Amino acid sequence: MVRLLTDISKYLILILFVLYTAYSFVGLKITDEQRSARTITKQRILLFAVHLIAYLVLYLNLKDISILVFYPFEVMYLLAYMKFYKLFYPGSNARLINHFCMFVAIGFICIMRLNPDKLFKQFAVIFVTSVAAFFIPAIMKKGRFLRKFTWLYAITGLGLLSAVLVLGHTTYGAKINLDISGSTFSPTEIVKLLFVFFVAGFLYEYPTLKQLLAVSVVSAAFVLLLVLSRDLGGALIFFVTYLVMLYVATKKSRYIFMGGGGFCLASFIAYHLFSHVRTRVNTWMTPFSLIRSDTSQISQSLFAISTGGLFGIGLCQGIPNTIPVVISDLVFAAICEELGLLFGLCLILLYLSCFLQISDTAKQLADPFYRLIAIGFGVEFILQALLNIGGSVKFIPLTGITLPLISYGGSSAMEIVLMFAMLQGLFILKDRR
């Protein structure tokens, strides 16, 4: 009986999620307020339905009492997130709120499925950060001063990255984390936000050559520190974000091409300089040859995806925990294994739709400082999704970037929660200059 319900549930979850994703794209085009409000309500019903069914199936299969304990708290959190923004910030973007809640809900489901012991910490981080971040839009309303601290952002950011480089400990060949009184913290995630503020502060007025040089040198320092920490995925995100912001600020496409050329050269050098880059690229090209060594993450990921097929084998029916680092880096493979590739494809589309929503917001912003921040955040968000998913399906080499709001990881969850709060702040400010 449980098996049958589990089997039916995977199709049900898929249908609900497909509908949600479809609405997210329809929503991009709707301008009529009433219709827009209706789709937003429908999306919320779909969201809670997916969450409920998944938790029901998880409970039926795992019989773990903590599932029943967490469920009401999660629902309350999601409801509160939606309601509070609506109540206190009437100008906030409900679609972005929905997407945020959907990603968070999927994240909760994944962590509960893969390792229930870790859910409390993730939930706590997201909850506390959300509460703190709730005041961000209010601060931003007051804050023309934010654009004055350009150098402070740069110095803080570079300082944190240097600290990681010097003090950080190595995981999977890269230095990413700092140990602070027993718990690990990855400052790179927060520095991503500071970096966008720094670049926006420099470029929102048409830059002179001197300024252009200054911002480029400092940005290069950010990227270089990450390369030295061997966090190549992080370095790529900073680099592309910088290029995109430069392009949007100056509207000169030649910067993109120059940057692209520089990137190819840098990749070539990195390949020949770092052994772990070579390993990653080699595993990417021939996953089977290295299957017996510990770099076989990608093979296990592909096994999981290919056996999941289009519809997956159902929640709790697979063995996703045999995939290395599944809960943080390769969570997409676990999703595809149990919920199916079609669900995974919809998830990819949802990330894309969320990005389009953010870039749409950026287009509406009159103030160039805010425009740059919005597009910078959007690019950081979508790049993380792209590098994570692309890496776990062998589209590109693995980079160790987490899947925004779904992967387990306090620092990265914190970053995205703050990012979405700031995006809401920007949206509220869209008519201001």
Q: Per CB under 8 A, which region of 18-26, 57-65, 70-78, 366-374 contacts another protein? A: 366-374
Cβ atoms of 283 and 316 closer than 8 Å:
no
Strand order in the sheet with 183-185: 169-171, 174-180, 183-185
**Residues in 324-353 at the binding interface with another protein, rule: CB under 8 A:** 341, 344-345, 348-349, 351-352
Count CB neighbours of 354 within 10 A: 25
Nearer to another protein, 94 or 347 (CB): 347
Asked if residue 205 binds another protein (CB under 8 A), the reply is yes
Which helix (H) or strand (E) segment holds residue 302: the answer is: helix 297-308
Helices (H), 143-274: 150-167, 187-203, 209-228, 232-250, 253-273
Among 49, 80, 155, 165, interactor with another protein by CB under 8 A: 155
Site string for another protein, 263-302 (x = CB under 8 A): -------------------------x--x-------x--x
Q: Terminal CA-to-CA distance of the chain, rounded, Å?
A: 60
Asked if residue 259 binds another protein (CB under 8 A), the reply is no
C-alpha to C-alpha distance for 385 and 401, rounded to whole angstroms: 8
261: which residues sit within 8 A by CB, 6+ positions away? none
Among 57, 190, 393, 413, interactor with another protein by CB under 8 A: 393
Asked if residue 22 binds another protein (CB under 8 A), the reply is no
Cβ atoms of 325 and 387 closer than 8 Å:
no
Asked if residue 310 binds another protein (CB under 8 A), the reply is yes
Centroid of chain to Cα 409: 11
Distance in Å, CB of 296 to another protein, minimum:
8
Asked if residue 194 binds another protein (CB under 8 A), the reply is no
C-alpha to C-alpha distance for 312 and 395, rounded to whole angstroms: 20
Asked if residue 251 binds another protein (CB under 8 A), the reply is yes
Site string for another protein, 47-86 (x = CB under 8 A): ----------------------------------------
Cβ atoms of 324 and 301 closer than 8 Å:
no
Contact set with another protein (CB under 8 A)? 1, 3-4, 7, 148, 150-152, 155, 205-206, 208, 210-211, 244, 247-248, 251, 253, 288, 291, 299, 302-307, 309-310, 313, 317-319, 322, 341, 344-345, 348-349, 351-352, 355-356, 359, 362-363, 366, 368, 371, 375, 379, 382, 386, 389-390, 393-395, 431, 433
